[in-house]
Chain A
């Protein structure tokens, strides 16, 4: 597909456009990377997009109203995001509400908090968070991509090479069996909820610095959440839990961004984007189901 767009428009491979693609990929890929771990552990988070939208506002409140310095404020924002993940996790694990419903609730709850506190008006980036901090946290051309790559590689290693990852797979693959073996399944799930939410907060902050404004409607919301889930699913992660890859989700996010970008460049309207997205999800899910059936059939 990339090749097609390259041949259709020489602009596709220019540096500004590659920056464009990287910036369109990164926030969704960052969230998708965490989403993969959560999905593999057998849960989902629908609220992460609005957590992303809320994060820069929290930064704005903390710096402009409470006079917290920029870096501690950003750290605090990530902590608050993690706290929302903790709430999602506790409701799901302790009260046994399905995560789809839990996070649907927190999705609206956080949206309400966001719109009420911001009066649905955009805010400027706080003065103390300008300059180098802004550059590091997303304003510089490649900043988002660097964050994204570091996170994707780290979480890929976490999922494939650490106890946390192994237990995440075990909990999603066989909850009862994993608990039988003494794995604290609740802790694994809650941890992954917190991971996704924290990454959501980070993605929201990166986006705010990139577009140089804090806007309740841009840089977060359900769109980025759905893009992240789509990226994970296209990358081969099972919604039923137990299997998935972070690198796959990254490629999924890249494909989606490239698709949208390429369609813009060749001048067709972005509306069919959703058509193609829908087909891509269906085809990859059907392939996924079919392949895993083949794999199972191959057993001795």
Chain B
């Protein structure tokens, strides 16, 4: 199906996933517009990583449908997802520390003049592409081990985009990152948004900075999306309250069952 700009990049309908007797996802409905940045939040165990692993082809759903660019697809593997333009960038798993930046950029897609690697061409293209994306590093010849967490993340994102990813899943891109490092990634996401051809789902634990760059935010609770709003219509406080409310409900229940436990503290003050 031909897609016009502003069309739909990804739609997930009624997706469920069980692991043995444990229900990880009950009934997930999610949509992502072309060029949109969606923040996916939720507490530990809410099913965020299961959902991401289904979208990127690592798990297959037990029920439900997935549409990419308006067409239904059954994603069979990570490679298959990648061929559909879906790529995941993990926090620190993607790069090989022992290799140079440009070798990492071209990992498994190396340019070769048989039997040797075309290092000069890869180096030039990597440098060009990183500059293009506004990723500044001292030198593409450096081993990745020498770079900071933010720079590594940026290179992983740049690599995905370079290899034609059109739907990017960023798994906790800001975890364990300082403010300056985080800003690097947020700027990169903003630049990608400006390009308009890449749609992004950011999985986040701490939503403060993330909300800056997201267009919309979804909250995943107990295996379903329970909240879906444009970021303009919400606040960090509201989201915090939503997540905390769930925790308090569970805790109150426990406290009710086992008297003598300390009563829940007062709710955080609203702005």
Contact = CB atoms under 8 A, between A and B. Distances in A.
Question: Are these two chains actual partners, yes or no?
Answer: yes
Given A166-B103, A181-B108, A183-B107, A174 B96 contact: yes
Nearest to A183: B108
B231 interface: no
Interface in A164-183: 166-167, 169-170, 172-174, 176-178, 180-183
Nearest to B92: A177
A299 B103 CA distance: 18
A299 B108 contact: no
Contacts of B97: 173-174, 242
Contact of A173 (B96, B112, B138, B147): B96
Nearest to A242: B98
Contact of B98 (A161, A169, A181): A169
A189 to B, nearest CB: 15
Contacts of A161: 116-117, 119
Contact of A170 (B79, B107, B146): B107
Interface string B69-83: 000000000110010
B151 interface: yes
A177 B117 contact: no
Given A163-B110, A181-B107, A300 B148 contact: yes
29 contacts: A161-B116, A161-B119, A162-B115, A162-B117, A163-B110, A163-B117, A166-B107, A166-B117, A170-B107, A172-B98, A174-B93, A174-B95, A174-B97, A177-B94, A177-B95, A177-B96, A178-B96, A180-B78, A180-B90, A180-B93, A181-B108, A182-B108, A183-B108, A242-B96, A242-B97, A243-B98, A295-B143, A300-B146, A300-B147
Interface of B: 78-79, 82, 90, 93-99, 103, 107-108, 110, 112, 115-117, 119, 138, 143, 145-148, 151
Interface of A: 157, 161-163, 166-167, 169-170, 172-174, 176-178, 180-183, 242-243, 295-296, 298-300
